[in-house]
A and B are shown apart, each in its own frame.
Chain A
Amino acid sequence: MAQNGGESMKTIDSKIVYERVCNALLDVNTNIDPRVEKLFENYDGPFAREIKENMNIARTSKMPLCQDTGIVEFFVWKGYNVHLTSPLKDTLERAVREVYTGSGFRKGIVSDPLFERKNTLDNTPAIIHIFEIDKPVIDIWMIAKGGGSENLSTIFMLQPSESYENVLKTIVNHIENNAANACSPIIVGVGIGGTSDKAILLSKLALFNPSTIELLHRYDEKIGEYSQMANELQERFSNLKIGVQGLGIGPTVQRTNVLNYPTHIATLPLAISVDCYLSRTLSVVIE
């Protein structure tokens, strides 16, 4: 602990942040989430053998679970009194560069999105969001976000008078029409309220594990969770019969979370984000 202007500052060595993030990026791309593996235990539909063996091969060989190792997104919750020894953005981008070039993960980022689309060759830049919190820690959430699932992201600017039933229908229709293109059984993240950008952000945060999402309310008490709505959506998704890989057998959606935020009197933003079945999300807390 160092003193600075009378405030109690906590210094965290950026080398530790770098190492922990590197390990997490390796882990998230090669070690399947145990809950996903369990989900497939009793699945014997199309490609059951390939899906199960892939998890074992990736774990033992350290080859990536999917060739699309994604664009890396970071959501960082940083204590207002935490002092890092290097700029955080540099540390995170260095970690992505090191892991993606050093482990044979796909370099899948192009600069100049509309015209040249030239590969940056090191999978950077990452997408980085930093939020200040009132805790002496840095909590780094990361997702290796594949392009197939990202293409399903969407925002609806609904009317404030919209019925609950129509909101449910809007979400279910979107999933019904698109889940077959995103490597089901998918994870559905819903963000309601805020502004258009806030809603999208919430829908991304909603893709993380329930135990991680629980922390959100402690970081920002205005972020709420509609658990009952998530359960109702999950039940409707179970009737879709899109199935594993869109081939009609097994679950379509493995998990749904709905996060909410205060909004403007004239608006009802509804954002939907989707993650693929591999659920490559992880968080590291450094104290």
Chain B
Amino acid sequence: MPTKIEKDAVTGTETTGHEWDGIKELNNPLPRWWLYVMYACILWSVAYWFVFPAIPGVSGYTKGLLGYDQRTALDAQLATAYERQGVFRDAIATTSLAEIRAADDLLPFAIAGGRAAFADNCAPCHGLGGAGQGGGYPSLADDVWIWGGTLDDIHTTLEVGIRSDHLDTRWSEMPAFGELEILSPDEIEDVAEHVLSLSGGSTDAAAAMRGAETYEIQCLACHAERGAGMADLGAPNLSDQIWLYGGDRQSVVAQIARPRHGVMPAWSGRLDESTVKMLAVYVHTLGGGL
């Protein structure tokens, strides 16, 4: 409440009647154009409600007279960007993978495009940097490839997937030696020991020797001599230090008894050709391309 309204001797204006630490204010009227500006702002905001999406309802919201939608705007921007990249994308679609890999102008674009597509489509399983995850998602950055690590191999894997719906999908199936009772538990233990010995991880030489016989009968056909593996069949190399499902004894036994088989989608129908090629080049440059 104003307490003490006084009159200024110089201008004749009254004070507001309040005092703050000895400071008093003259009660000058507001310029009228401030009031008009405020009215204009109010009119503007009301018009804004009508023109742009504004008021939420129980489900949905008022769309606004302009029909402006950020999602549509983003789509338009993406389409423009896509068109601008057209030159590079067309070049990539018509150039061979090896040529792209060697080209100074196409390689950076392919790596950048591949990186972007990788983050959207592949990272959920293979990790952002292609490091893979435990539980059967292979690392794409190392030099071990179940289905081949050349540019063409990687490209084919991307196109048809692994155990996917694609007609020409890559497919391999390891018999469930334990579940189907093809081998007894002891035999499985021994052959697991032998497998570990192939990579220098065995602790029981005798068991490894016993397992060698079982290996020759049951495993050699796919996993080849000394566990070298066969990329054509998708049989992994058992003699290296990389284990998809774990390299400790228990995990090896489990994989022999009840093998796990990973599934990878086929990307040929889902991504356009240039993107798949860029992905192939990108994965190849992650460090393990052969």
Real complex partners, A and B?
A: no
B contacts, CB < 8 Å to A = none
A contacts, CB < 8 Å to B = none
